[in-house]
Amino acid sequence: MSIPTPHITAKYGEIAKKVLMPGDPLRAKFIAEKYLQDIVCFNTVRNMFGYTGTYKGEKVSIMGSGMGMPSIGIYSYELYKFYDVDSIIRIGSAGSLRDDVHVMDIVIGMGACTNSNYVSQYKLNGTFAPIANYELLNKAVEVAKLQGKKTVVGNILSSDTFYSNDTTANDSWKKMGVIAVEMEAAALYMNAALLNKKALCMLTISDHIYLDENLSAEERQLGFSNMIEIALDI
């Protein structure tokens, strides 16, 4: 396959080596317009907006990933494989499973458990453990400390189901120490492993699975500035 790809219309060189990927394409637009200078839109296919600009003199791109592992699986693979992107940092939202992790807290996914069948394509004789790139993870923790922002680092769950018919599933993952649940990181980590690239997932808690805490859709789209500023400074 050559570029443009079926899902990204950018020419080679129009996408930076470092890409930040929120799930929501409108959040990508908001971040680019708020934080980047000299922005250029490189993709509008399926309204999955992508932008390249500069932040503190560094070239950086921001692009939506859509919802779920099939969607981020497509976009991250094409970015890594055909546009020679080195690092993708997912900046998303998640539901907290832990009693001491609340709305607006920042979680960094060291590992990403999953109930997805995404890994089956690799035909591995066992269970693969999708993990973050340590260099990016370590930098994220250091940057957060310098910015005076608290982060929680540990295991997250990438789920294929938002509305699950299994009402006991969250209890089981919580018992295993999983911090929060989202829907994309495991596929991103697997693509990075396959293609020898770097990946990190940073999440802002948008709701709590067990407590009455949640953000509105607008707050999720326009908020999360603490997480975004950490990701930009990595």
Q: Are strands 58-63 and 180-182 parallel, antiparallel or unpaired?
A: unpaired
In CATH, the number for domain 16-231 is 3.40.50.1580
Q: What distance lies between CA 149 and its chain's CA centroid?
A: 19
Rounded average pLDDT over 192-206: 98
Phi/psi-derived region of residue 34, left when phi > 0, alpha when psi is between -120 and 50, beta in every other case: alpha
Please identify which residue in the block is written with the tokens 């999708």. 130
pLDDT tens, 100-133? 999 999 999 999 999 999 999 999 999 999 999 9
Examine the pLDDT at 223 and tell me if it is beyond 80.
Answer: no
Q: What distance lies between CA 222 and its chain's CA centroid?
A: 16
Say if residue 124 is exposed, middle or buried (CB neighbours under 10 Å; 0-12, 13-18, 19+).
exposed
Sequence ranges of the binding site for phosphate: 23, 27, 46, 90-93
Residue type, 103: V
Model confidence at 216, in pLDDT bands (50, 70, 90)? confident
Active site residue 212: no
Per annotation, catalytic residue among 38, 207, 212, 233: 207
